[in-house]
Amino acid sequence: MSVIIPYIDEPHPVTGVTNAKLGIWLFLASEVMLFGALFSTLIIMRTSAVDWPAHGSDVLNVPLATLNTVFLITSSVTIVLSWAALKMKDLKKFKLNMGLTILLSFGFLVIKYIEYTSKFHHGHFPSTSTFYAVYFTLTGLHGLHVVGGIITNLYLLGPGSKMWEKEPERFTGRIECAGLYWHFVDLVWIFLFPALYLL
């Protein structure tokens, strides 16, 4: 097989980016539109709902969500540090930071699980009110993105990291892309958090 696909590890001379980087940004652009539509929905539901809690904090657990925010922000830092470690050719430091990222994202999911189960316990389901419908759907979709990120990062930490030996540039590029996706997940949460919990 002699199919050669150029620019997978070095940037294209004209565009200045690799294929994967352009690809991940295109994917994120479409994600922006997905969450744009969901935020649109949130605004409409909020303005026309029959009853909407005056403050999200009346019904949702703000301290837990704040902790979750800190988790995600920290994981965003660790993943960008893991990329910087590869840039400094330090695989150990990369593994440490990537491992931390995954731990923190698991922490996020655990807290989300606690939040969800306590809501179910009190008999609050998506069908309870428009507020809960929006809350569960939006955080649920965001949670799915977190799960997707964890799977990717686990792969890159484990079997995927073998690529480092043969194609370090390409592997660093992969980590950058995984990082970009993860920052985006963080970014969505940064908006979801005040929109649902605080306002």
Among 98, 104, 137, 174, binds another protein (CB under 8 A): 137
Least separation in angstroms between CB 36 and another protein: 4
DSSP 52-88: --SSHHHHS-HHHHHHHHHHHHHHHHHHHHHHHHHHT
- In angstroms, rounded to a whole number, what is the distance separating the alpha carbons of residues 114 and 122? 12
Residue 12 interacts with another protein (CB under 8 A): yes or no: yes
Q: Could you say which residues in the range 49-108 bind another protein, by CB under 8 A?
A: 49-51, 55-57, 62, 66, 69-70, 73-74, 76-77, 80-81, 84, 87-88
Which C-beta is closer to another protein: that of 21 or that of 112? 21
Collect all residues with Cβ–Cβ distance below 8 Å to 93 and sequence separation of at least 6.
Answer: 81, 82, 85
For residue 86, how many other CB atoms are within 10 A of its CB?
24
Closer residue to another protein in complex, CB, 157/182: 182
Please tell me the distance from the alpha carbon of residue 196 to that of residue 64, in angstroms, as a whole number.
Answer: 13
Give the residue, chosen from 115, 128, 150, 154, that forms a contact with another protein under the rule CB under 8 A.
128
Least gap, CB of 140 to another protein (angstroms): 9
CB of 4 to another protein, least distance (A): 6
**Angle ∠(59,60,63) on CA atoms, nearest 5:** 135
CB of 20 to another protein, least distance (A): 8
Q: Give yes or no for residue 152 binding another protein (CB under 8 A).
A: no
Pick from 108, 125, 157, 175: which binds another protein (CB under 8 A)? Answer: 125
User: How many chain residues bind another protein (CB under 8 A)?
Assistant: 83
Q: Is 117 in the site for another protein (CB under 8 A)?
A: no
The region that residue 52 occupies, defined by phi over 0 for left and psi between -120 and 50 for alpha, beta otherwise, is: beta
Kindly tell me which of 164 and 197 has the beta carbon lying closer to another protein. Answer: 197
Query: Which positions ≥6 away from 197 have C-beta within 8 Å?
Result: 56, 57, 60, 62, 65
17-36 positions binding another protein, by CB under 8 A: 17-19, 21-23, 25-27, 29-36
CB of 80 to another protein, least distance (A): 5
Return the DSSP state at 124: -
Could you give the 3-state DSSP secondary structure of residue 50?
Answer: coil
